[in-house]
Structure 1
Amino acid sequence: MDRNNVLEVKDLHVSFHTYNGEVQAVRGVSFEEKKGETVAVVGESGCGKSVTSQSIMRLIPQPPGVFKHGEILFEGNDLTKLPEKQMEGIRGKDIAMIFQDPMTSLNPTMTIGKQIMEGLVKHRKLGRAEAKEKALEMLRLVGIPSPGSRIDQYPHQFSGGMRQRAMIAIALACAPKLLIADEPTTALDVTIQAQILDLMNDLKEKMDTSIILITHDLGVVAETADRVVVMYAGKVVETGTVEEIFNRPRHPYTWGLMGSMPRMDLSRDTELTPILGAPPNLLSPPKGCPFASRCPHAMKVCKEQMPETTDASGTQRVACWLEHPMAPSVEIPHDLVGGASK
């Protein structure tokens, strides 16, 4: 494992056994997370983003879930093989998670203060008085006003934005080395979204925490991420720096995501271009490229054989047959990168 990486996911396969058969939710996902870096994992709903993040936390219920193959290396340990007792010592202390819906993630019967203190008492072995003082400090750090009174309130007494801030306080209380944020701004209005994203960026700098950001919002990605992992149908189709993915995307699926996103630099008359069709059924995924049925540039080989992942640059990788030297030259849509070609 590269000592500059805090996490390495290698060829991860996760399935769920259902009455209808085996759902192959994650099919060979690989990426790494460097220390102090924010990696955004993007894609449509159902592409495997949340299953990947929950696999890192070992929150996949087994059964029906099963780790079929691959490794999740954190500080040299393969998390998929650790006994649950050892994983409990890592979860919440070294790896923490902000869940998508704070109202269902927070315990409605416990005060916010007690929920922050819980991890401090368990992992840091702090006394209750010391843990309460640290909880107050965390509430101040995430910008919750009047923390002295708010610490004894319950989740239903907080607004949506404040509940999300409380979730961040709980996640960061033990100063984790890796923070996983699963759609942390989905249910919030744009003003609160901006505040939460600024808060996460500030705390990353202050606490030197690495962040995996799970989202389908490319605006959030542009605001916060250093690198991007694009997922589709349980597979990684492209990775690269934010600049590469936004300015020089190479996979047709990434082009589709960009084309369906509102852009401030385009005229108001510019129409958004939706990605036609639907993702494949992961009960019986296609043997070729999973995007072939929706791709306007699909060739015969795309439907028959999975493309290899190739290096487009030192930091950008793409799994697409258009990268093959014998593939026809395809022009990247003009409104994405000014008409740069393959």
Structure 2
Amino acid sequence: MEPLLQVNDLHVSFQTVGGEVKAVRGVTFHLNKGETLAIVGESGSGKSVTALSTVRLIPSPPGKIKKGEIVFQGKDLVKLTEREMFKVRGSEIGMIFQDPMTSLNPTMPVGKQIIEGIRWHQKIGVTEAKNKAIEMLKLVGIPNPEKRVSQYPYEFSGGMRQRVMIALALASNPKILIADEPTTALDVTIQAQIMSLMKDLQEKTETAIILITHDLGVVAETAERVAVMYGGVIVETGPVNEIFHHSRHPYTWGLLASMPRLDLPKAQQIEPIPGSPPDLFDPPAGCPFADRCPHAMNVCLEEMPPVTQVSSNHQVACWLEDPEAPSVERGKINQGTA
């Protein structure tokens, strides 16, 4: 089956006063119809830049897609004009931005913001668009939507604003929904409600979701596949169960060991990854995780590892997969277990 979205060898850079920041360096992944793909990694790994690049929303300048393909339903989005991209954004690919507090226009009622998006993509009248906006607010669980459609963002709580953002993103029935840290700044109860809502809406609409997050608990509950990103590259990708229970990259082990665990003594519940992320002004020639990896070899510092097919849909880029690499205890990093 043809994937709904195929990203091939994507490179994205930003020109700054200090030089060129190579934020994304050869990212490749695909998204199937109706599935949820989580892209995980610590801050600065390139997750949000990858998401924004997918819908050509990186500011240009200073940002630029230097190389690669973003193929959606047979069309390479990199080659489309800005006018052509207007027809894709919203109607074909929707996006929930990272901060619901600042993503909504504070000077406009939330209903008007949803109506504008509906009318732009569907070319229908104001009354019909307003009725659909009310229907969308009801769908995402906003109480009394007939009244709330005329209210301003400041009259909504953080969780309700995020629901409005989801309504806005889904109003034109997109085939793909990109959710960039959709639960940022929300308490854990509201986080659970928002993720449950997105899952319910996905089942009703068959929308595919790209979930950008660093919360592995959310990933375990909502995603089918995971792509682990570090230093602007994807180091491991596979089904959720394989990534959580049979991961093969030391960075993935480190992420999992950094999660709180109640089955361990308090002193061992969290094992942070030592060191700092690589400098993307001057990224390393080899594996980006080599400086922080307890299993690093000379080749790790000198050359980027090839992608190894672990199983039919599990891939990893790590020199430990080489037949000549020394044997290490899988899942062990920094004295913790992944």
Residue 329 of structure 1 is matched in structure 2 by 327
Residue 318 of structure 1 is matched in structure 2 by 316
Residue 242 of structure 1 is matched in structure 2 by 240
* In 1, Cα distance between equivalents of 2:94 and 2:293: 37
Residue 256 of structure 1 is matched in structure 2 by 254
Partner AA of 2:151 in structure 1: Q
* In 1, Cα distance between equivalents of 2:194 and 2:303: 42
- Cα distance, 1:17–1:339 mapped onto 2, change above 3 Å: closer
**2:227·2:237 contact (CA, 8 Å) conserved in 1?**
yes
Partner AA of 2:212 in structure 1: I
TM superposition shift of 1:339: 8.1
Residue 194 of structure 1 is matched in structure 2 by 192
1:195 aligns to what SS in structure 2? helix
Residue 151 of structure 1 is matched in structure 2 by 149
* In 2, Cα distance between equivalents of 1:145 and 1:283: 48
Alignment of 1:41-60 (within 5 A): 41-60=39-58
1:55 aligns to what SS in structure 2? helix
Write out per-residue CA displacement over residues 227-280 of structure 1, whole angstroms, 9 at most, x where no aligned residue.
000000000000000000101010000000000101244454533111000011
**2:34·2:208 contact (CA, 8 Å) conserved in 1?**
yes
* In 1, Cα distance between equivalents of 2:26 and 2:267: 40
TM superposition shift of 1:334: 6.4
Q: Provide structure 2 residue ranges, at least 5 long, that are not aligned to the other structure.
A: none
Percentage of matched positions with identical amino acids: 66
1:31 aligns to what SS in structure 2? strand
1:244 aligns to what SS in structure 2? helix
2:210 maps to 1:226:
no
Moved more, 204-213 or 258-267: 258-267
The normalised TM-score by structure 1 is 0.96
Partner AA of 1:288 in structure 2: G
Q: How many residues align?
A: 337
2:12 aligns to what SS in structure 1? strand
Residue 67 of structure 2 is matched in structure 1 by 69
Residue 114 of structure 1 is matched in structure 2 by 112
- Cα distance, 1:334–1:233 mapped onto 2, change above 3 Å: closer
2:113 aligns to what SS in structure 1? helix
2:128 maps to 1:127:
no
Partner AA of 2:250 in structure 1: P
Write out per-residue CA displacement over residues 84-106 of structure 1, whole angstroms, 9 at most, x where no aligned residue.
00100110110010001012110
**2:259·2:269 contact (CA, 8 Å) conserved in 1?**
no
Give me the CA root mean square deviation.
1.6
2:164 maps to 1:166:
yes
**1:331·1:339 contact (CA, 8 Å) conserved in 2?**
no
* In 2, Cα distance between equivalents of 1:53 and 1:18: 21
* In 2, Cα distance between equivalents of 1:33 and 1:250: 22
Alignment of 1:25-104 (within 5 A): 25-104=23-102
1:312 aligns to what SS in structure 2? strand
1:138 aligns to what SS in structure 2? helix
**2:137·2:145 contact (CA, 8 Å) conserved in 1?**
yes
* In 2, Cα distance between equivalents of 1:319 and 1:14: 20
Q: Provide structure 1 residue ranges, at least 5 long, that are not aligned to the other structure.
A: none
2:297 maps to 1:299:
yes
* In 1, Cα distance between equivalents of 2:134 and 2:61: 39
Write out per-residue CA displacement over residues 291-337 of structure 1, whole angstroms, 9 at most, x where no aligned residue.
000000000110011100110111110000000000011112369xx
The normalised TM-score by structure 2 is 0.97
* In 1, Cα distance between equivalents of 2:145 and 2:260: 38
Moved over 2 A (4+): 263-271
